[in-house]
Chain A
Amino acid sequence: MQPILVFVEQANGQIKKTSLEAVSEARRQADVIKTEVVALVIAEKADAFIKDAGSYGANKVVAVEGADFKEYLTASYTRATLAVVNSVNPMAVLFSATPNGKDLAASVGAELKISVIQDCISLNYDNGAFVARRPIYAGKSIITVKALKTPVLVTLRPKVFPLGATASQTPSVEKLAVSLTADDKRVKLKEVVQSGQKKMELTEADIIVSGGRGMKAPENFKVIEELAGVLNAAVGASRAAVDSGWRPHTDQVGQTGKTVCPTLYVACGISGAIQHLAGMSSSKCIVAINKDPEAPIFKVANYGVVGDLFEVVPALCTELKKN
């Protein structure tokens, strides 16, 4: 049986948690199909990632190493991924639905003449074909799709697929040499700017505290940031807050922003426009704090507090700190 290949993404020298979720899912699929999991590591030095990939269930790691692969660039990573796909002949290639994972999957798809099943929330192997579910219209609807060609290319939405049990097995390692062409080097990375350790990526955060039009002014977001600090959460915003220039567009949750599914989503001063609800309504638990008892956000909130966020949010911080 052909193996399942899973792309392992790294950030700052560490495997991303969402890639461990992808390896875990590959293991579950492989156990059903009775096949092997091969992890694909592309890095300047791959050794640091091999053990982690193995402990979440990879039987084998194929590593493409070198200075050319230090940072993610679409063309070089596509070249490396294609070389490994040709070498291991997988039935499926799993990526995380991160900015780079989606980018790479699509680029590889073009070479294989296969469309990617992007942002999957479930995957099943049924009668010889993969069937996946994925949200569309930012989560207003969910479609079930079937892959008609192999390998199936899928990206898995972060935080949806649980981490598997860790195993102590050491995977076998194969290093594959891949050289780039001049065409692969037409994009040069000049600089990487990280917004600091505290800036958590919304799509990968466990808890999100968001502010909307009710925040009234950019400086008032310090109330939200304080609660986010207490909860170790990422800060989000509604389109109204972003379009008013109070928050950067990267904070926007909704149909023209990010679709998120954290464990806890705290919506402060957000009325709940349909585009916002689409982006956050797959959160496991929603708390809404809003002055207007008629606000649509209360229809989707597990717990609502009707009141002035400038009183309720600080009180919530104090109460949480007490415990």
Chain B
Amino acid sequence: MNIITCIKRVPSTETNVRVGSDGKSLETSGVEYILSPFDEIALEESLRVKEKLIAAEQSGVPANVGSDVTAITVGTPDAATTLRTCLAMGADKAVHIKDADAYKRDPFAVASALASVIKTMPYNLILCGKQAVDDDNSQVGAMLARLLNIPFVSLITKLEISGTNALVQREISGGYEVLEVTLPAVLTAQKGLNEPRYPSLKGIMGAKKKPLEEKTATFDSATIETIKMEYPPSRPAGRVVGKGVEAVPELVKLLKEEAKII
């Protein structure tokens, strides 16, 4: 079973976003980068699928030979650090589609570059985060599935592999669905699927010896152009109505008469 996990290097969720001097991109100086949290969940699930298959094989159930987890990214040269994090968590190898302009790429350009490289690799399952937490685009997974002509399910919160099928739970408005999917397929991970592990010291040391392959791809031209990046409208300064239960009648009065929302 060959499992591919698509990942992205993103600014830490603790980052205070600052607009760069061009007025349309993030000011990157002093920003700490992390593996996008939903991609981290996708990678964790890939590792768990592999571990389950190995455990099954050891207990006598014939499993697919050569279970292998590959982390892949379209990223700037420094995304190699994030791929090393994936290797430290337990991925067997990493593929870096190097692109100096990665942060400016359209979702379609990224998906088609990923598809062009993934097409040359063996795979039975592709996992992605449901969205990257920087551009919040939620499209690369769906696009990748169409480009590879394989099934797609987004927002999964549970995954069970049985033979050439996967049984998944998918989050929908106000509930969830249970779906059966034939493999290979692209699935996107939602929070709740698992709790990602921390890389162990042994993992971090071992990551240095694992293969990290560099690839190039051609990118489609942009179909969306960013014109401006700005801060959200500032909220009026907070106002404390009072302390404890004594403040409650005044609060309700304000919500009714001033804010007019109840």
> In the complex, which residue of chain A has the Cβ closest to the Cβ of B11?
A137
Say whether A49 faces chain B, with CB atoms less than 8 Å apart: no
Q: B133 touching A144 by the CB < 8 A rule?
A: no
A172 to chain B, nearest CB (A): 30
> Which residues from chain B contact A319 at a C-beta distance below 8 Å?
248-249, 251-252
C-alpha spacing A147/B108, complex, angstroms: 13
Given A118-B137, A285-B261, A106-B251 contact (CB < 8 Å): no
Q: A256 touching B146 by the CB < 8 A rule?
A: no
Say whether A222 faces chain B, with CB atoms less than 8 Å apart: no
Q: A118 touching B173 by the CB < 8 A rule?
A: no
Q: A148 touching B259 by the CB < 8 A rule?
A: no
Q: A192 touching B177 by the CB < 8 A rule?
A: yes
Given A141-B231, A145-B227, A303-B254, A183-B192 contact (CB < 8 Å): no
| Residues in B96-147 with C-beta less than 8 Å from chain A | 106-109, 111-112, 133-147
Partner of A191, one of B111, B177, B255: B177
Instruction: Flag the segment in B52-60, B148-156, B198-206 that touches A.
Output: B148-156
Say whether A98 faces chain B, with CB atoms less than 8 Å apart: yes
Q: A307 touching B14 by the CB < 8 A rule?
A: no
A195 to chain B, nearest CB (A): 5
> Which residues from chain A contact B178 at a C-beta distance below 8 Å?
189-193
Q: B232 touching A103 by the CB < 8 A rule?
A: no
A263 to chain B, nearest CB (A): 5
Question: Per-residue 0/1 for B162-188: is the Cβ within 8 Å of any A Cβ (1 yes, 0 no)?
Answer: 000001000111111111111001000
> Which residues from chain B contact A87 at a C-beta distance below 8 Å?
none
| Residues in A92-123 with C-beta less than 8 Å from chain B | 98-100, 102-103, 105-107, 109-111, 113-119
B40 to chain A, nearest CB (A): 10
Q: B247 touching A307 by the CB < 8 A rule?
A: yes
Say whether B226 faces chain A, with CB atoms less than 8 Å apart: yes
Say whether B244 faces chain A, with CB atoms less than 8 Å apart: yes
Q: A147 touching B223 by the CB < 8 A rule?
A: yes
C-alpha spacing A187/B165, complex, angstroms: 10
C-alpha spacing A71/B153, complex, angstroms: 14
Q: B153 touching A74 by the CB < 8 A rule?
A: yes
Say whether B37 faces chain A, with CB atoms less than 8 Å apart: yes
C-alpha spacing A308/B245, complex, angstroms: 9
The A-B contact count (CB < 8 A) is 285
> In the complex, which residue of chain B has the Cβ closest to the Cβ of A75?
B151
B17 to chain A, nearest CB (A): 4
> Which residues from chain A contact B152 at a C-beta distance below 8 Å?
74-75, 107, 187
Question: Per-residue 0/1 for B2-19: is the Cβ within 8 Å of any A Cβ (1 yes, 0 no)?
Answer: 000000000101111101
C-alpha spacing A99/B141, complex, angstroms: 13
Instruction: Flag the segment in A20-28, A32-40, A210-218, A292-300 that touches B.
Output: A292-300
C-alpha spacing A138/B174, complex, angstroms: 21
Q: A145 touching B232 by the CB < 8 A rule?
A: no
C-alpha spacing A248/B190, complex, angstroms: 12
> Which residues from chain B contact A148 at a C-beta distance below 8 Å?
222-225
Closest 7 CB pairs of A and B: A106-B139, A110-B146, A106-B142, A249-B192, A110-B143, A307-B244, A194-B175
A-B contact pairs, 15 of them (CB 8 A): A73-B179, A114-B223, A116-B139, A131-B227, A138-B136, A145-B227, A148-B222, A148-B224, A186-B181, A195-B175, A201-B173, A284-B261, A301-B239, A302-B235, A303-B259
